[in-house]
Each structure stands twice: as C-alpha cells, then as structure tokens.
Amino acid sequence: MSSIHVSTTVNGDEVEFLCDPRETLLDVLRDRLGLTGAKEGCGTGDCGACSVTVDDRLVCSCLMLGAEAEGKSINTVEGIADGEKLHPLQEKFIEYAALQCGICTPGILVATKSLLEKHPDPTESQVRYWLAGNLCRCTGYDKIIRAVMDTAADMRKAS
C-alpha cells in the first residue's frame, strides 16, 4: 500500500507528511506530527474530543482522512495559546475548574473558540447546542457553560 504525500498548514506552520490512505487526520496529528492535544474518544464522530478547525470550520478530525488535509489550514488546541500566554477561554476554564479528567477539554476549547468567533454574544442555549457534539462525562457541563459565557462577556468588553 503506497503512502500519500500531503502538504498542509497546521497552527500556521507549513507541514508535510506521508500517510497511509486509511489514516484519519486525527491519526496524522497524533502519530505523525506529535500533536497529541486532540484525543480519540470514540473514533466515530460522536464525542468531539478530536475537534479541530479546517479552513476555520469546526470538524471532528477522526471523520476526515489525513489525505484530505492537502492544501488546508488546520488549527488544533496546541495553537490556541500565544506562547506562554493562555487564551481567555483557557484562563476561564482554569478559574471555573471547568474540567476534571481533561480528555474532552482540548475539543471543547477548540469548539468554543470557534463558537465565539462566529457568535461573540451567544445565549446559553446557543452554547449548549453548539457543544452538543462534545461529550464530557465528568463535569455535568454546568461549569463549562458558565466559563464560556463569562469568557464571551470579557472578550466583548475587551474588544
């Protein structure tokens, strides 16, 4: 089985890799590029732990082949902080303790960053529906939702 050569951009950096046709983008990110922020919870697009953006569109990286990344711009949780400076969402998630085991957290951060870019002033219902595909078995979601709502309010004040 011959490998496929792919050129793409990940978190602003140009990246090249060789992958098997059956490898998903999630496999490539974790096993070939060493970006282990995105997690495999289910592998079938139900849990959202592997969320990334592709050309600014929120997707499950387990539901996309690595080969499809050719020429795309991919952003993962590793690109959210600016060096040592955390993104406001990350600060708020710590402040609110909006995580316990942490498996779902990278996906939820990527998903909520994408939400706030499209909807800077979301309602609570909007946040809950947006995150319907990000499963968390620890928190009961309440702290996550409050952290997102508070971040949105802070970011609106700052802009």
Partner 1 sequence: MRYHSPESFDDAVALARDADGITRFLAGGTDVLVQLRTETVIPDVMIDIKRITGVHDITREDGGWRIGVAVTGAEMSEHAELQNEWPGLVEAMDLIGSTQVQGRATLVGNLCNGSPAADSVPAMIAAGIELSITGPDGTRREKTENIPTGPGKTSLEKGELVTAVHVPARGDNAGDAYLRFIPRTEMDIAVVGCAVSLRREGNKITEARVSLGAVAPTALLVEDAAQAIIGTELDDAALDALGAAASAACNPIDDKRGTIKFRTHVAAVLAKRAAKIAYDRAGADK
Residues forming the site for partner 1 (CB under 8 A): 1, 4, 21-22, 24, 43-46, 48, 51, 54, 57-60, 62-65, 67-68, 70, 111, 114-115, 129-134
Nearer to partner 1, 63 or 155 (CB): 63
Nearer to partner 1, 86 or 149 (CB): 149
Smallest separation, CB 128 to partner 1 (Å): 9
Please tell me the distance from the alpha carbon of residue 103 to that of residue 89, in angstroms, as a whole number: 16
Please tell me the distance from the alpha carbon of residue 114 to that of residue 140, in angstroms, as a whole number: 21
Nearer to partner 1, 54 or 155 (CB): 54
Nearer to partner 1, 95 or 121 (CB): 121
Smallest separation, CB 24 to partner 1 (Å): 7
Beta carbons within 8 Å of 74's beta carbon, 6+ residues apart: 8, 9, 10, 11, 25, 29, 52, 53, 54
Smallest separation, CB 28 to partner 1 (Å): 13
How many CB atoms are closer than 10 A to CB 54? 17
Q: Are 77 and 104 in contact (CB under 8 A)?
A: no
